[in-house]
Amino acid sequence: MKILIVEDEVGLREAIGSSLEKESYRIETASDFDTASEKIFLYEYDCILLDIMLPDGNGLELLAELKKQGKSENVIIISAKNTLDDKLKGLELGADDYLTKPFHLAELNARVKAVLRRNKLDGKEVVEWKNVRLDLNDRQLFVNNQEVQLNRKEFDILNYFLLNQQRLVTRVALAEYVWGDHMDQADNFDFIYSQIKNIRKKLKESAAEIEIETVYGLGYKLVRI
Amino acid sequence: MKILIVEDEVGLREAIGSSLEKESYRIETASDFDTASEKIFLYEYDCILLDIMLPDGNGLELLAELKKQGKSENVIIISAKNTLDDKLKGLELGADDYLTKPFHLAELNARVKAVLRRNKLDGKEVVEWKNVRLDLNDRQLFVNNQEVQLNRKEFDILNYFLLNQQRLVTRVALAEYVWGDHMDQADNFDFIYSQIKNIRKKLKESAAEIEIETVYGLGYKLVRI
DNA sequence: CTTCTACAATTAGAATTTTCATGGGGTAAA
DNA sequence: TTTACCCCATGAAAATTCTAATTGTAGAAG
């Protein structure tokens, strides 16, 4: 579940962010109109928290644009203004919910959860293959419906493999996906070796019907056993 | 799949290039307006990465031209500008996607893949002749739909032969294609002999309907059996 | 036509290099 | 503290190149 927070006030933005991160959503933030519309344009968000009062433009414009693109159902308006006027405009434009400052973070969490539940069928994001299932929401791995403990990197890597099952996965691509692209010198893949080793072990121990095959000189491939 | 990278900044250009090459696309580059429009005019590309800010002309002009020629569907705009204005212009002109610097290479890869998938029937690139099929993506050889294990050099060599089937392939050309051109002393082709031997063996063992014929004093030729 | 000669090409296997796996240890964050 | 993560040393495995002995070829000479 990916959530975008559009809020110019640093303190509030970070407070909301860390609160939602604890619920294990993935958080991105924008502090002004431009970067917000940029991000909205580029990525898919499951929920957008939108502060109406932005320094360089009115949040309602953003909402209008989202509406045009048919992406306005997941928006929760945040505003100091509590005039009925603005509220109505927001809802006319299809915002899902409306929250006035100040508010309790618990309240926000509840609304977010509600929005997500309403729009997706409880926002289940899972990837499955053979007897393994990866739950993207709470970042859990199940083999034969039995949970297998994975740590963060292991999860990310396995996730990437499942996105590219049966296809060649180069170590560079993997590194970029999991570590971000600041692989200073790309000639040291020791950490990948380590992680792969551990994932293989866990897959084997849990009797998963898939395995990570190495393609000598090129990378890896996720195949069924 | 052939991709053109139009980007004036050397570092970025090469980073993108090598990243995409690892995904086994064929890459060409242009660093300025003129060579870019030149190449676009001359060749067909499956995807064009276009930096808006070029030293000798605005990338949007290029895009406009592509639009006129009906070739604008495969363009991904790259830009430092993140103003909505430019973005909209780009999209009006039919660009397929928009990416602002800085970005993760993994992100770019994903977009490219998406564009290719949307426009062509998936990004699978294969070369076939008689009963042999070479999968350029996964670098696999199939004879009669049966996989035959090849190592890197063998694959590259066979690939080159299939690109030049029935035509003479000199050892020098082969060496340049497979080993890069720093063949210090060009009078030692022992490694080629070795590789050719192994490929021949594997082709014969798998009952391929093609074989590598030697042209005495000149090189080789791939012919049907 | 046969033989000779000077290369050209093939081959098996040895030697080397590249690539990968693994366990252990250190460090920093939780 | 524990845990996650990364680094390093070691060795194994695969790929690649090299070596040296053998065989094949074209053309000239007998």
CATH number of the domain residue A176 falls in: 1.10.10.10
Number of domains forming the structure of chain A: 2
Is residue B103's pLDDT more than 80? Answer: no
Given this model, what pLDDT does residue B72 score?
58
Q: Are residues A184 and A206 in the same domain?
A: yes
> Which 8-state DSSP code applies to residue A24?
T
B137 and A167 in contact by Cβ < 8 A? Answer: yes
- pLDDT tens sequence across A44-83: 787 888 887 777 767 777 777 776 666 666 788 887 655 5
Q: Are residues A201 and A142 in the same domain?
A: yes
Highest mean pLDDT among A82-91, A189-198, B3-12, B47-56: A189-198
**Mean pLDDT for all residues in chain B:** 79
Out of A86, A119, A152, pick the residue that ends a domain. Answer: A119
Q: Which is more confidently placed, B114 or A103?
A: A103
Q: Are residues B20 and B73 in the same domain?
A: yes
Q: Are residues A35 and A107 in the same domain?
A: yes
Q: Are residues B52 and B156 in the same domain?
A: no
Q: Which is more confidently placed, B193 or B26?
A: B193
Q: Domain of residue B48: give its range.
A: 2-119
Is residue B171's pLDDT more than 60? Answer: yes
Average pLDDT (B34-44) is 80
Q: Are residues A47 and A98 in the same domain?
A: yes
Please tell me if residue A218 touches chain B, with a CB cutoff of 8 Å: yes
Cβ-based burial of A183 (10 A; exposed 0-12, middle 13-18, buried ≥19)? middle
Please tell me if residue B45 touches chain A, with a CB cutoff of 8 Å: no
A42 and B99 in contact by Cβ < 8 A? Answer: yes
- Nucleotides in chain C near protein beta carbons (<7 Å): 8-13, 18-24
Q: Are residues A16 and A90 in the same domain?
A: yes
Confidence of residue B83 (pLDDT cuts 50, 70, 90): very low
C-alpha distances in Å from residue A128, one per residue of A132, A142, A145: 6, 9, 11
B152 and A217 in contact by Cβ < 8 A? Answer: yes
Is residue B54's pLDDT more than 80? Answer: no
Given this model, what pLDDT does residue A150 score?
92
- Classified as helix, coil or strand, A37 is helix
Confidence of residue B193 (pLDDT cuts 50, 70, 90): very high
Given this model, what pLDDT does residue B121 score?
40
**With a cut of 70, which residues of chain A have pLDDT below it?**
22-24, 42, 57, 67-73, 80-97, 102, 114, 117-125, 180-187
**A188: Cβ–Cβ under 8 A, 6 or more apart, which residues?**
none
Q: Which of residues 97-156 of A touch B (CB under 8 A)?
A: none
Given this model, what pLDDT does residue B132 score?
92
DSSP states of chain B: -EEEEE-S-HHHHHHHHHHHHHTT-EEEEE-SHHHHHHHHHHS--SEEEEESEETTEEHHHHHHHHHHTT-GGGEEEEES---HHHHHHHHHTT-SEEEESS--HHHHHHHHHHHHHHHTTSS--EEEETTEEEETTTTEEEETTEEE---HHHHHHHHHHHHTTTSEEEHHHHHHHHH-S--SSTT--HHHHHHHHHHHHHHHHTT-SEEEEEETTTEEEEEE-
Out of B104, B119, B134, pick the residue that ends a domain. Answer: B119
Q: Are residues B14 and B100 in the same domain?
A: yes
Average pLDDT (B7-25) is 79
Q: Are residues B48 and B102 in the same domain?
A: yes
Q: Which is more confidently placed, B192 or A1?
A: B192
CATH number of the structural domain spanning residue A92: 3.40.50.2300
Out of B119, B148, B173, pick the residue that ends a domain. Answer: B119
Confidence of residue B209 (pLDDT cuts 50, 70, 90): very high
Q: Are residues B101 and B133 in the same domain?
A: no
Q: Are residues B130 and B91 in the same domain?
A: no
Given this model, what pLDDT does residue A122 score?
41
Strand C–CB B197 distance below 7 A: yes
d(CA A40, CA A46): 11
Strand C–CB B196 distance below 7 A: yes
Q: Are residues A41 and A131 in the same domain?
A: no
B98 and A42 in contact by Cβ < 8 A? Answer: yes
